[in-house]
Structures are given as structure tokens and as C-alpha cells.
Chain A
Amino acid sequence: MTAISIRSLTKKYKDVTAVDGLTLDIEKGELFALLGVNGAGKTTTVKMLSCLTAPTDGDALLLGSSILTDRDAVKKVIAVSPQETAVADGLTVRGNLVLMCGAHGFSKKETDEKIEKMKDFLGIAAIMKKRAGKLSGGWQRRLSIAMALIGDPEILFLDEPTLGLDVIARSDLWDVIRSLKGRVTVILTTHYMEEAEELSDRVGVMRDGRLLAVGTPAELKEKTGCDKFENAFISIVKGAEK
């Protein structure tokens, strides 16, 4: 079943076309990675799909609801973990999770239940009383993902979730993301080739706002005749330059 159906999605800023006629279908429960160099249009795509930016042209249906005409319905089924760590520094970890539950309109009982569940799922029980602003980068990212997941989204956007993390923190977050596969439809944007290859069911390669190739990491390697996924990516992006 299709979770996200994108049709000719376009975003223009004056003379610059950030996303150019993107058409793509993403299946329910799929983990789809958007890969591209800086300025490829990945973040703009996520912003349009999460109703943060209105498209200049085209549309997308998220579980049947249009990002143009049914934004309230879209907002009920999505969650976003933005590129920068989006936590309230002055609140405790628990306070941040309560804030998100409130934003979704959950009752006190629901809030307590969801926080309890999230505590175990993400292993954040030990830091519940700590101020978010005092946490390390890795824990802040983990909290950021917990804040996105606490609303039980059906579609989750992870924008560069492991950017700037050390190897261990990245590996821990990969475990979390892996555990979502099949349950939640995840759109992951990343610069890290190994991350995309390791986690994704399918990968879309973008450049200058256009989708150059879509397929599983193995398919893209086969298509380009490369042994390594990184080389396949370079071949696709450089091939589009010519």
C-alpha cells in the first residue's frame, strides 16, 4: 500500500528551483533515504511533505491526504525530527516529551503511558530528569527522535539524524531507526552513504532539485556497475553533470 504519493512536486525561490517536478511513491512501512549533495533539495522536499513550506507546483498525498488541501489531516499522521536538534533547552527530558504530547492533544493518562513506553524503547530512563540543554549531542538527538515518535506517527521524517555524532552514538541511533522499519514509514535524508546503504529499503538520489535515480542500494550498484555504494552515488551524480 502506498503511504506517500508525490506528483510533480516543485519549489521555486525566485530564480532558484530547489525541487524540480519530483514524482515518487513510497510504500507503507518502507524506509526511504533521500541522498544528495548540499543544495540537492532533500530538506526542501521534507519541508514540503511536512507542510512547513508550500509547494510552488504539484502535490503529495500522505496516506491519502493532500499537503495542499488537507494539512490538518497530514499533521495528524506525521512527525519530523529536524536537521538541528529541536529540543526545548530549558525543560527536562520528560518536560520535552510532555510538551510534545500536549501539542498532539493527549490526556494526562495517555501522556504518562506514552512517556513510559518511549522511556523503554529509546533507553532514556536514566536522563528523564536532566535538562535537555545539558545533554550531549547523541542524547539530544535521541531525545529529538523520541519527541517525534511520541505522537505515534505513521510517517516519520528524519532530516540528517546522525549529523555530527560519534561512531557509537550513530550506531545506537541506527539501531533505533532499524527497529522502526515495517511499523513506520520513514523518510531519511542523509549525507552518509553507509547510513543510507545500511538502513534503507530504497534510496533516491537527488541533485539540483531533480530525482536522478531510485532503487535499492544493490540495484543502484548494479545499474552503475560499481562495487561500492559510494561509487554508485558518485557515478549517478557526476553522470547527471555531463
Chain B
Amino acid sequence: MRAFNFGKRCFKEVLRDPLTICFGIVLPVALALLLSAIQAKIPAKMFTPEKLTPGIVVFSYSFLTLFSASVVAKDRKTALFQRLYTTPMKAGDFILGYTVPYLPIALIQTAVVVCVFAIIGLPLTWRVALFVLLSLPAAIFFIFLGLLCGSVMTPSQVGGICGSVVTNLSAWLSGAWFDVELVGGPFKAVSEALPFYHAVELGRGVLSGSYDGFTLRLTVVLAYALAAGVLAVVLFTRQMKKQ
């Protein structure tokens, strides 16, 4: 009940910020439309809906890190946090309240991107439903990364690091709009060591019905989500005690 109430507040604070809609939904949609327009002009099948949908969805999730981290970092800076610490709320209430509200936001982002690509030509089959389900671990990873960053960074650091570094890492190292295999070398090695590329390839595999490397990719994304979750909880509770 306490966590739900606190989560509702975080949800409202995020959705009331117009930048949320702009970065989290409008920008990915604009990118999807732009790349699809390019595809219509070139003979090579680079930006087909099956390839682009997972890339754009994972890119849109990177903004969840920014939203989540911003709320936590801002709260830590204000006396509101101190006030809430003196109520019967427990650490678990705070952690759930700071993470769960972003799952519906992730689902909204996924639904919007899927709808846009459905208009462009993505066939709406059962594979899309499976894709939405299997996108959740990536969303959870980004949400926990936000809690982690918000627990140790100031609001301005969050703006710089989550707003540019995380979004750029997820844009470039996921192979969302180019083939990482073609670049090869250290770029490919770094991409494979991080979860972004695996999250996108997992989605592409599901949408195209090709399950090569499915287990590995899902395991990597889940492992990163779990690691980010554990680290976020440890750092959040540590700063809570410190504060």
C-alpha cells in the first residue's frame, strides 16, 4: 500500500514533465519514421520493421534510466526525502515505488513503437506479443540502472550521464540502426559484452522467428538486469542510511 502510493507519486511526477513525452515517446517515433522513410528510398533491406522495431524500443527504454534517476536524485537533494524517512515507510517501499511505475511507461513506449511500425508494415502476429513480453527484462535493466545512478549522482550528473552517455551507449552499441557484425573488431566485442546489443538481437530473433542464440541473449539481458537490481538496492539503502 505504501509502495503503491509512493509509486503513484513517482508516476505522476514523471508524466507531468513534458520532456518525458518528448524524449521517451516522440523522439523514438520520429526516429522510426525517419529511418523507415530512408528505407523506402534505398534498395537494400537495412531498416525493415522487423529489424528496426526492437532497436527503437530498446533505445526508447534508455530514457527510463534518465526519468528514474532524475526523480531519485532530485528527491535525495530535497528535504521531502527526510520527511518521508521519518514516516513508517521502509526501504522496500521506496525501492518498489521508484521502480514499478516505470513498467507501465515501458509498456506504453513499446505499444506506441509497435503501433507505428504496424502502420509501416510490421505484421501483427503472436510473435509481437512474445516480443513485448521478452522486451521487459531490458526495460527492467534500464529502470534499475536509473535507481542505481539516482542513488549516487546529483541531478546535474544524472542529466549528463543518463541523458547522454546511457542513451548514446544504447543507441550505438545496440546495433539498432546498423549491423554490429559489419563494424566488427573491438566495437563488436564491446557491444557483445554489454546488454544493449543482446536485447535488440533477442527482439529481432523473436520477430523474425529465428531463435539462434536466444538463450544466450536472454541470459545476458537477465543477468545485467539482476546485477543492476542488486547493485541499485545496495547503493540506495546505503545512501538512505547515510542520509
Segment from B74-82, B116-124, B129-137 that makes contact with A: B74-82
Q: Do B80 and A102 have beta carbons less than 8 Å apart?
A: no
Segment from A70-78, A179-187, A188-196 that makes contact with B: A70-78
* Binary interface encoding of chain A residues 38-75 relative to chain B, with 1 for a CB under 8 A from any of its CBs, else 0: 00000000000011100000000000000000001001
Q: Contacting A104 at CB < 8 Å: which of B8, B17, B87?
A: B87
With the chains together, A101 CA to B4 CA distance in Å? 12
Chain B residues with CB under 8 A of A219:
none
With the chains together, A78 CA to B82 CA distance in Å? 13
Chain B residues with CB under 8 A of A84:
78-79
Q: Do B5 and A99 have beta carbons less than 8 Å apart?
A: yes
The verdict on A88 contacting B80 (CB below 8 Å), with A52-B86, A79-B86 known, is: yes
Count, chain A residues at interface, CB 8 A:
31
Interface residues in chain A, defined as those with a beta carbon under 8 Å from any beta carbon in chain B: 50-52, 72, 75-76, 78-88, 90-91, 95, 98-105, 147-148, 151
Q: Contacting A99 at CB < 8 Å: which of B9, B81, B86?
A: B9
Q: Which single residue of chain A is at the shortest CB-CB distance from B1?
A: A105
Q: Do B9 and A105 have beta carbons less than 8 Å apart?
A: no
With the chains together, A75 CA to B82 CA distance in Å? 12
Q: Do A103 and B6 have beta carbons less than 8 Å apart?
A: yes
Q: Do A105 and B83 have beta carbons less than 8 Å apart?
A: no
Interface residues in chain B, defined as those with a beta carbon under 8 Å from any beta carbon in chain A: 1-2, 4-6, 8-9, 12-13, 16-17, 78-89, 243
Q: Contacting A91 at CB < 8 Å: which of B9, B82, B86, B89?
A: B9
A173 CB to nearest chain B CB (Å): 17
Q: Do B13 and A88 have beta carbons less than 8 Å apart?
A: yes
Q: Do A95 and B82 have beta carbons less than 8 Å apart?
A: no
Which of A90, A104, A147 has the most B CB atoms < 10 Å from its CB? A90
The verdict on A102 contacting B5 (CB below 8 Å), with A86-B80, A88-B80 known, is: yes
With the chains together, A106 CA to B85 CA distance in Å? 17
Chain B residues with CB under 8 A of A52:
82, 85-86, 243
Q: Which single residue of chain B is at the shortest CB-CB distance from A82?
A: B79
Q: Contacting B2 at CB < 8 Å: which of A82, A87, A95, A102?
A: A102
Which of A82, A88, A103 has the most B CB atoms < 10 Å from its CB? A103
With the chains together, A99 CA to B13 CA distance in Å? 12
Q: Do B12 and A103 have beta carbons less than 8 Å apart?
A: no
With the chains together, A195 CA to B112 CA distance in Å? 57
Chain B residues with CB under 8 A of A91:
9, 12-13
A44 CB to nearest chain B CB (Å): 13
Q: Do B79 and A85 have beta carbons less than 8 Å apart?
A: yes
A132 CB to nearest chain B CB (Å): 10
With the chains together, A95 CA to B8 CA distance in Å? 10
Q: Other than the known A80-B82, A86-B80, A102-B1, what 9 A-B pairs have Cβ atoms closer than 8 Å?
A: A75-B86, A81-B83, A82-B82, A98-B5, A103-B5, A103-B88, A103-B89, A105-B88, A151-B87
With the chains together, A88 CA to B2 CA distance in Å? 16
With the chains together, A80 CA to B2 CA distance in Å? 18
With the chains together, A224 CA to B99 CA distance in Å? 57
Chain A residues with CB under 8 A of B4:
102
Which of B5, B78, B86 has the most A CB atoms < 10 Å from its CB? B86
With the chains together, A69 CA to B16 CA distance in Å? 41
Closest 8 CB pairs of A and B: A102-B5, A86-B79, A82-B79, A103-B87, A84-B79, A90-B13, A86-B83, A86-B80
B92 CB to nearest chain A CB (Å): 13
Q: Do A103 and B2 have beta carbons less than 8 Å apart?
A: yes
Q: Do A104 and B79 have beta carbons less than 8 Å apart?
A: no
Chain B residues with CB under 8 A of A88:
9, 13, 80
Which of A72, A75, A87, A99 has the most B CB atoms < 10 Å from its CB? A99
Q: Do A86 and B78 have beta carbons less than 8 Å apart?
A: yes
With the chains together, A62 CA to B4 CA distance in Å? 29
A218 CB to nearest chain B CB (Å): 33
